[in-house]
Copies of this chain bind each other. A is one copy, B any other.
């Protein structure tokens, strides 16, 4: 069985996230930028992860994650997202505060702990940011999601995720009254700048720029 250190788990999770977002491979510099670790350090770690067969690494040509690696990355992501649910649902954290703490909790080693936590939370399928929680076998059921600015006039849906999950953006959404789970209806679409007006939970109307709307994902 392959054993990973905390640092290795962080790299592998980053590589998984970077490669699942469309492209099948990622580069030393991408990982460096994403993780805020210098390229030289990334190179060295890639060599080590390659030796542990969790990634395919050809010097100068970027990395692909292996099946083994994917399984391990998904295990960490599962833990991260379950802890996020715990923090929000049980400890009343707001959804912009959880990432940092979950980045630590995700490394705690105890299969029983995660299994029981999952059960305790009622086997949630999505985390507070709307991202799917892999099951214990690494299977992920994702929902087809559309950026809010692409919903037609009078169209309805439910906010399930954000593209930009920076604390600043999340706080902004909280302030204007948008949140994961909110039922929305598009009341107006302004032609010339793409800004929109939406109705939230049949109660409150919000105006937002095309840029903001493009970072909000909904299911219809």
Contacts and interface: CB of A to CB of B under 8 A. Distances in A.
Interface SS of chain A? helix
Contact of A116 (B93, B104, B108, B113): B93
Interface residues of A, number: 18
A5 interface: no
A120 interface: yes
Contacts of A113: 87, 91, 101
B112 A108 contact: no
A110 interface: yes
Given A91-B117, A91-B120, A120-B90, A97 B112 contact: yes
A109 interface: yes
Interface in A81-130: 87, 90-93, 97, 100-101, 104-105, 108-110, 112-113, 116-117, 120
Nearest to A115: B91
Contacts of A116: 91-93
20 contacts: A87-B113, A90-B120, A91-B113, A91-B116, A91-B117, A91-B120, A92-B116, A93-B112, A93-B116, A97-B112, A100-B110, A101-B108, A101-B110, A101-B113, A104-B108, A104-B109, A104-B110, A105-B105, A105-B108, A108-B108
